[in-house]
Amino acid sequence: MQNFVLENGKKFFIHPVYKKYAANEDGEIMNIRLRKARKGNLINNGYLKCGITTGENKIKSYLSHRFVFECFYGLIEKNKQINHINSIRTDNRIKNLEVVTASENIKKSAKNRNFGSYRKNPKKVTAINLVTKKETNFKSLYSVGKMLGINPAQVSMICLGIYKTATSKINGQKYYFRYFD
Protein backbone atom coordinates (compact mmCIF):
# COMPACT_ATOMS: atom_id res chain seq x y z
CA MET A 1 0.00 0.00 0.00
CA GLN A 2 1.23 3.48 -0.90
CA ASN A 3 1.90 5.59 2.21
CA PHE A 4 1.93 8.96 0.44
CA VAL A 5 -0.09 11.04 -2.01
CA LEU A 6 1.17 13.51 -4.58
CA GLU A 7 -0.26 17.02 -4.70
CA ASN A 8 1.23 19.85 -6.78
CA GLY A 9 4.43 17.83 -7.21
CA LYS A 10 4.91 17.36 -3.46
CA LYS A 11 4.80 14.08 -1.55
CA PHE A 12 2.45 14.09 1.41
CA PHE A 13 3.02 11.16 3.77
CA ILE A 14 -0.15 9.71 5.31
CA HIS A 15 -0.50 9.74 9.09
CA PRO A 16 -0.31 6.25 10.68
CA VAL A 17 -3.61 6.68 12.59
CA TYR A 18 -5.54 9.48 10.86
CA LYS A 19 -5.52 8.16 7.29
CA LYS A 20 -7.50 11.10 5.90
CA TYR A 21 -4.53 13.40 6.54
CA ALA A 22 -0.95 13.65 5.36
CA ALA A 23 2.06 15.96 5.76
CA ASN A 24 4.93 16.98 3.52
CA GLU A 25 8.58 17.74 4.27
CA ASP A 26 7.80 21.49 4.41
CA GLY A 27 5.52 20.97 7.42
CA GLU A 28 2.24 21.40 5.55
CA ILE A 29 -0.69 19.20 6.60
CA MET A 30 -3.28 18.21 4.03
CA ASN A 31 -6.80 16.84 4.22
CA ILE A 32 -6.46 14.20 1.47
CA ARG A 33 -10.11 14.30 0.41
CA LEU A 34 -10.21 18.10 0.13
CA ARG A 35 -6.65 18.35 -1.27
CA LYS A 36 -6.10 21.42 0.88
CA ALA A 37 -2.71 21.90 2.54
CA ARG A 38 -2.04 24.27 5.42
CA LYS A 39 0.48 24.80 8.20
CA GLY A 40 -1.99 25.18 11.09
CA ASN A 41 -3.16 28.01 13.34
CA LEU A 42 -0.83 29.94 15.62
CA ILE A 43 -1.67 29.51 19.31
CA ASN A 44 -0.60 31.70 22.23
CA ASN A 45 2.52 29.67 23.14
CA GLY A 46 4.00 30.17 19.67
CA TYR A 47 3.26 26.72 18.24
CA LEU A 48 1.01 25.85 15.31
CA LYS A 49 -2.02 23.66 15.95
CA CYS A 50 -4.27 21.81 13.51
CA GLY A 51 -7.70 20.22 13.78
CA ILE A 52 -8.00 16.58 12.69
CA THR A 53 -11.37 14.88 12.17
CA THR A 54 -11.32 11.45 13.80
CA GLY A 55 -13.19 8.33 12.65
CA GLU A 56 -16.08 9.29 14.96
CA ASN A 57 -16.35 12.69 13.21
CA LYS A 58 -14.98 14.47 16.26
CA ILE A 59 -12.29 17.10 15.88
CA LYS A 60 -9.02 16.37 17.66
CA SER A 61 -6.65 19.25 18.27
CA TYR A 62 -3.07 18.33 17.38
CA LEU A 63 0.20 20.25 17.64
CA SER A 64 1.31 20.53 14.00
CA HIS A 65 4.95 19.63 14.63
CA ARG A 66 3.95 16.38 16.36
CA PHE A 67 1.53 15.52 13.56
CA VAL A 68 4.14 16.18 10.84
CA PHE A 69 6.75 14.09 12.66
CA GLU A 70 4.31 11.17 13.05
CA CYS A 71 3.50 11.20 9.32
CA PHE A 72 7.17 10.53 8.56
CA TYR A 73 8.34 8.37 11.49
CA GLY A 74 5.25 6.89 13.16
CA LEU A 75 3.72 7.50 16.55
CA ILE A 76 5.83 9.24 19.18
CA GLU A 77 6.64 7.29 22.35
CA LYS A 78 4.75 8.50 25.44
CA ASN A 79 7.89 9.70 27.25
CA LYS A 80 9.30 11.61 24.25
CA GLN A 81 8.80 15.11 22.86
CA ILE A 82 9.47 16.77 19.53
CA ASN A 83 12.09 19.51 19.53
CA HIS A 84 12.51 22.25 16.93
CA ILE A 85 16.24 22.10 16.16
CA ASN A 86 16.46 25.78 15.20
CA SER A 87 14.18 26.79 18.15
CA ILE A 88 11.63 28.40 15.81
CA ARG A 89 8.31 26.97 16.95
CA THR A 90 6.53 27.61 13.65
CA ASP A 91 9.22 25.90 11.52
CA ASN A 92 7.73 22.42 11.17
CA ARG A 93 9.86 21.23 8.28
CA ILE A 94 10.71 17.58 8.91
CA LYS A 95 14.46 18.32 8.82
CA ASN A 96 13.95 20.75 11.74
CA LEU A 97 12.23 18.21 14.03
CA GLU A 98 13.85 15.67 16.35
CA VAL A 99 12.74 13.34 19.14
CA VAL A 100 14.08 14.17 22.60
CA THR A 101 13.25 13.44 26.22
CA ALA A 102 11.43 16.08 28.27
CA SER A 103 14.59 16.94 30.22
CA GLU A 104 16.62 17.34 27.01
CA ASN A 105 13.93 19.63 25.61
CA ILE A 106 13.86 21.78 28.76
CA LYS A 107 17.66 22.05 28.88
CA LYS A 108 17.83 23.10 25.22
CA SER A 109 15.08 25.67 25.68
CA ALA A 110 16.72 27.17 28.77
CA LYS A 111 20.15 27.23 27.10
CA ASN A 112 18.81 28.98 23.98
CA ARG A 113 17.03 31.63 26.01
CA ASN A 114 19.76 31.92 28.64
CA PHE A 115 17.23 31.62 31.50
CA GLY A 116 19.87 30.30 33.88
CA SER A 117 21.81 33.57 33.84
CA TYR A 118 19.10 35.97 34.97
CA ARG A 119 20.87 36.63 38.29
CA LYS A 120 24.39 36.95 36.86
CA ASN A 121 23.42 39.02 33.83
CA PRO A 122 20.33 41.02 34.83
CA LYS A 123 17.97 42.39 32.20
CA LYS A 124 15.84 45.37 33.15
CA VAL A 125 12.11 44.74 32.87
CA THR A 126 8.99 46.89 32.83
CA ALA A 127 5.88 45.29 34.31
CA ILE A 128 2.52 46.63 33.14
CA ASN A 129 -0.48 45.86 35.33
CA LEU A 130 -3.29 45.09 32.87
CA VAL A 131 -6.02 46.30 35.27
CA THR A 132 -4.52 49.56 36.55
CA LYS A 133 -2.21 50.17 33.52
CA LYS A 134 0.50 51.14 36.03
CA GLU A 135 4.06 50.52 34.82
CA THR A 136 6.78 49.44 37.25
CA ASN A 137 10.46 49.08 36.35
CA PHE A 138 12.56 46.27 37.81
CA LYS A 139 16.35 45.88 37.77
CA SER A 140 16.19 42.17 36.86
CA LEU A 141 13.98 39.21 36.04
CA TYR A 142 14.84 37.87 39.49
CA SER A 143 13.49 41.00 41.22
CA VAL A 144 10.19 40.65 39.30
CA GLY A 145 9.95 37.10 40.60
CA LYS A 146 10.54 38.20 44.19
CA MET A 147 8.16 41.18 44.11
CA LEU A 148 5.29 39.74 42.05
CA GLY A 149 5.65 36.02 42.60
CA ILE A 150 6.04 35.28 38.88
CA ASN A 151 8.66 32.84 37.62
CA PRO A 152 11.56 34.81 36.02
CA ALA A 153 11.67 32.38 33.07
CA GLN A 154 7.99 33.07 32.40
CA VAL A 155 8.64 36.83 32.53
CA SER A 156 11.46 36.40 30.02
CA MET A 157 9.20 34.38 27.71
CA ILE A 158 6.60 37.17 27.82
CA CYS A 159 9.29 39.74 26.97
CA LEU A 160 10.29 37.54 24.02
CA GLY A 161 6.68 37.30 22.83
CA ILE A 162 6.31 33.57 23.51
CA TYR A 163 3.63 34.06 26.18
CA LYS A 164 1.15 36.92 26.46
CA THR A 165 0.67 37.57 30.20
CA ALA A 166 1.26 36.17 33.68
CA THR A 167 -0.71 36.38 36.90
CA SER A 168 0.99 37.50 40.11
CA LYS A 169 0.91 35.05 43.02
CA ILE A 170 1.25 38.05 45.36
CA ASN A 171 -1.73 40.22 44.30
CA GLY A 172 -3.60 38.09 41.74
CA GLN A 173 -3.28 40.78 39.03
CA LYS A 174 -2.35 40.05 35.39
CA TYR A 175 0.83 41.56 34.00
CA TYR A 176 2.52 42.11 30.66
CA PHE A 177 6.33 42.53 30.55
CA ARG A 178 8.90 44.09 28.24
CA TYR A 179 12.64 44.63 28.43
CA PHE A 180 14.07 48.14 28.64
CA ASP A 181 17.62 49.55 28.65
Question: Residues of CATH 1.10.10.10 domain(s) within the chain?
Answer: 117-179
Residue 52 to residue 20: CA distance in whole angstroms = 9
CATH number of 117-179, picked from 1.10.10.10, 1.10.150.570, 1.20.970.10, 1.20.120.530: 1.10.10.10
**Contact of 65 with 97, CB cutoff 8 Å:** yes
Report pTM: 0.61
Average pLDDT, the chain: 86
CA distance readout (Å), 110 to 49, 65, 79, 87, 105? 23, 20, 20, 11, 9
Task: Give the model confidence (pLDDT) of 41-62 as tens digits.
Answer: 888 888 999 998 887 788 889 9
Alpha helices (H) along 55-101: 64-73
- Phi-psi group of 64: left, alpha or beta (phi > 0 → left; psi -120 to 50 → alpha; rest → beta): alpha
**Contact of 141 with 122, CB cutoff 8 Å:** yes
pLDDT at 71: 93
Q: How many CA atoms lie within 13 A of 56 on its CB side?
A: 3
Question: Residues of CATH 3.90.75.20 domain(s) within the chain?
Answer: 4-112
**Low-confidence residues of the chain, pLDDT below 70?**
1-2, 110-121
CATH topology of domain 4-112: Homing Intron 3 (I-Ppo) Encoded Endonuclease; Chain A (3.90.75)
Residue 109's SS3 state is helix
